[in-house]
């Protein structure tokens, strides 16, 4: 394991982040505790935290939990001040069972995780076009989920509607069903079961239409930003703007933080994990990493297996060598991780 032990006199920080208050800890170059303090989650609080850490000496690095959520603003402030910010995961359950769980304990653990090298990944930046893509992906995913739910609810109402209404609607495909139900006219003073059934159908259908419009607008902007940020990535076979945006969001606005393609493969959960013992030498599947990124590699693999002769030939060769089809697909994903990493924009966000 690579450590990040600083020179004597340097300070390493750790921060346990929350909605309203961040708890910080400072440790020396040997991991000895120098102090702990709580700070409000405001611009003034971030400045106070930075000054407090610096009061113990030059700051080597700061480990921050949740740099993609509650710690995002703090991470941005520290990075702008020239302080290296390291993404720190929550302590595992075994550690918490032994040492307990408090915000102060977590902050100290974050600082010591940076010193030991247990935490070494530079935090993602959230200050550029990729952050805009992340926000658009939130809208896209939630709208897609809501649309699926509304369509299922509309189909359920059709299945239990009165016979005359059900017979007219159940054979319609989803677009026709939505269009028909959205055009229903119901008297405002009619509260009978038949009228309310049609009203419920109309409301759900109009909701689906609204979500369709929202998804269309989001898709246009998402594709425009993605193509501008990473044209080489978008042009790769099987990628396209939608999958490329998922990849970019996983890499962040500072993809250069990923030192090499092995680090990118690890982030994607596409690297085999050594699981050898004694005379047995083997690797196991990595079930960690960013699962959205892993899913993006899977989609690219599926497209290439359907459209690319070279990818199919590679799959057949690996199977002929004794690998199962699933194992051969994993090899393709590992190869794709190398190719995709090379196509990432390596300049910092402007």
Task: Please give the order of strands across the beta sheet that includes 33-40.
Answer: 33-40, 21-27, 11-16, 59-65, 85-88
pLDDT at position 93, please? 58
Give the pLDDT confidence of 24-42 residue by residue, as tens digits.
999 999 999 999 999 999 9
Give the pLDDT confidence of 236-249 residue by residue, as tens digits.
999 999 999 999 99
Q: Inform me whether the pLDDT recorded for 337 exceeds 90.
A: yes
User: Taking residues 86-110, what's their average pLDDT?
Assistant: 76
3-state secondary structure of 190: coil
Question: Cβ–Cβ contacts within 10 Å for residue 119, how many?
Answer: 22
Q: 49 near 22, Cβ under 8 Å?
A: yes
Give the pLDDT confidence of 35-66 residue by residue, as tens digits.
999 999 999 999 999 999 999 999 999 999 98
pLDDT at position 286, please? 74
Q: 249 near 137, Cβ under 8 Å?
A: yes
Q: Inform me whether the pLDDT recorded for 275 exceeds 80.
A: no
Q: What angle in degrees, to the nearest 10, is found between the helix axes of 291-307 and 325-343?
A: 110
Q: How many angstroms separate the first and last alpha carbons of the chain?
A: 33
pLDDT at position 348, please? 41
Percent of residues, the chain, with pLDDT higher than 90: 70
Q: Inform me whether the pLDDT recorded for 349 exceeds 60.
A: no
Structure tokens at 77: 């402030």
Give the pLDDT confidence of 292-317 residue by residue, as tens digits.
999 999 999 999 999 999 999 999 99
CA 43 – CA 350 distance, rounded (Å):
22
pLDDT at position 127, please? 84
CA 80 – CA 94 distance, rounded (Å):
35
pLDDT at position 228, please? 96
User: Taking residues 115-121, what's their average pLDDT?
Assistant: 84
CA 287 – CA 273 distance, rounded (Å):
9
The least confident of 134-143, 176-185, 278-287, 335-344 is 278-287
pLDDT at position 1, please? 40
Placement of tokens 């450590």 in the chain: 3
Mean pLDDT score of the chain, rounded to an integer? 89
pLDDT at position 2, please? 44
The values of phi and psi at residue 24, to 5°, are: -115, 150
Q: Of the candidates 185, 183, 189, 159, which has an alpha carbon nearest to the alpha carbon of residue 171?
A: 159
The pTM score is 0.81
pLDDT at position 116, please? 87
């Amino acid at each position: 394991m690579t450590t990040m032990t600083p020179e004597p006199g340097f300070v390493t920080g750790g921060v346990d982040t929350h909605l309203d208050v961040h708890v910080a800890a400072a440790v020396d170059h040997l991991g000895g505790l120098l102090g702990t303090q709580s700070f409000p989650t405001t611009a003034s609080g971030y400045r106070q935290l930075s000054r407090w850490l610096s009061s113990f000496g030059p700051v080597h690095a700061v480990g921050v939990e949740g740099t993609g959520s509650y710690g995002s603003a703090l991470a941005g402030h520290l990075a702008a001040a020239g302080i290296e910010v390291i993404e720190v995961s929550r302590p595992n359950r075994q550690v918490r069972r032994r040492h307990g769980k408090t915000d102060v304990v977590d902050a100290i653990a974050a600082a010591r995780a940076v010193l030991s090298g247990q935490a070494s990944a530079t935090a993602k930046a959230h200050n550029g076009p990729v952050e805009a893509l992340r926000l658009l992906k939130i809208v896209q995913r939630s709208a897609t989920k809501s649309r699926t739910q509304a369509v299922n609810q509309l189909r359920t109402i059709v299945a239990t509607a009165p016979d005359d209404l059900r017979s007219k609607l159940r054979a319609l495909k989803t677009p026709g069903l939505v269009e028909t139900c959205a055009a229903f006219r119901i008297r405002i003073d009619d509260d009978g079961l038949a009228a309310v059934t049609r009203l419920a159908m109309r409301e759900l259908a109009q909701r689906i239409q609204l979500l369709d419009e929202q998804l269309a607008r989001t898709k246009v902007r998402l594709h425009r930003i993605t193509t501008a940020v990473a044209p080489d990535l978008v042009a790769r076979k099987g990628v396209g703007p939608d999958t490329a945006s998922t990849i970019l969001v996983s890499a962040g606005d500072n993809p250069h933080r990923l030192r090499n393609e092995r680090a990118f493969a690890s982030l994607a959960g596409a690297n085999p994990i050594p699981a050898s013992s004694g005379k047995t030498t083997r690797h196991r599947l990595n079930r960690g990493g960013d699962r959205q990124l892993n899913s993006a590699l899977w989609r690219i693999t599926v497209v290439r297996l359907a459209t690319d002769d070279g990818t199919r030939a590679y799959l057949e060769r690996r199977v002929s060598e004794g690998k199962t089809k699933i194992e051969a697909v994993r090899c393709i994903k590992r190869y794709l991780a190398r190719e995709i990493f090379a196509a990432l924009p390596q300049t910092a966000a402007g």
